[in-house]
Amino acid sequence: DAGVIQSPRHEVTEMGQEVTLRCKPISGHDYLFWYRQTMMRGLELLIYFNNNVPIDDSGMPEDRFSAKMPNASFSTLKIQPSEPRDSAVYFCASTTHTQGNQPQHFGDGTRLSIL
Amino acid sequence: DAKTTQPNSMESNEEEPVHLPCNHSTISGTDYIHWYRQLPSQGPEYVIHGLTSNVNNRMASLAIAEDRKSSTLILHRATLRDAAVYYCILRDKVQGAQKLVFGQGTRLTINP
């Protein structure tokens, strides 16, 4: 089975540029999560969707960040304009209807560097 | 979310058992105990979870204290590929708390 697929794997761009990260969840999964990992803050949840609808975006750092899920098989996380402090590894994860005991499946992440 | 406490790091030798502890003294009756691990340059990977009884799967065993205030992840025979950061996480069964709240985890080093 294909797992969660993220693209690109690596992104290097200059400050001020728009960055778009992409995620394809596992087929049939109805929850999708975006996480960010930094040395200082560890792994933190940014936003998650259920049936393509954003449920909790309290972790989104500021208005420069936006996430969409236009259909069940695709989601994007956009940063505009990007700043050096946005440099991190961004993970996407998916799971099926959860009752606290369904595992989340993570992609391999996108390593983002903002110069 | 109830908090968990884990040692920052542990070290073990290849082919020996490893016991990774986790304290969760404020656990509620509806919290599942989940373990994930993160290998270098990869996303977190589910390992095992349990509620009250000990659990076994192909990756590991989970031993849960009778009062549920602590648990231990057991790798029966560690290999070099088990070197990773291991996270112990509580998830509410009733509320279906969807998000995983990661702490700092335990960085496990396996010596050849």
Candidate from A48, A99, A106 with C-beta closest to B99: A48
What does the mean pLDDT of chain B come to? 92
Amino acid at A36: R
Place of tokens 């972790």: A59
Q: Mutate which of B57, B99, B101, B106 to test chain A, going by most A C-beta atoms within 10 A?
A: B99
Residue A43 near residue A91, CB atoms below 8 Å: yes
Instruction: Provide the H-helix boundaries in chain B.
Output: none
Structure tokens at A34: 């975006």
Q: Which two tokens stand for residue B86?
A: 């291991």
Tokens at B110, concatenated:
């396996």
**pLDDT digit string (tens) for B64-104?**
999 999 999 999 999 999 999 999 999 876 655 567 889 99
A chain contacts of residue B42, beta-carbon cutoff 8 Å: 106, 108-109
Which is nearest to B62 in space by CA: A106, A101, A4?
A101
**Average pLDDT for B30-35:** 90
d(CA B28, CA B94): 11
Picking from A48, A93, A101, the nearest residue to B32 by CB comes out as A101
What pLDDT is recorded for position B101? 86
Whether residue B6 contacts residue B108, with contact meaning beta carbons closer than 8 Å, is answered with: no
Q: What is the pLDDT of residue B95?
A: 59
Cα separation, B49 vs B55, in Å, equals 7
Q: Give pLDDT tens digits along chain A (115 positions).
A: 689 999 999 999 999 999 999 999 999 999 999 999 999 999 999 999 999 999 999 999 889 999 999 999 999 999 999 999 999 999 999 998 766 578 899 999 999 999 9
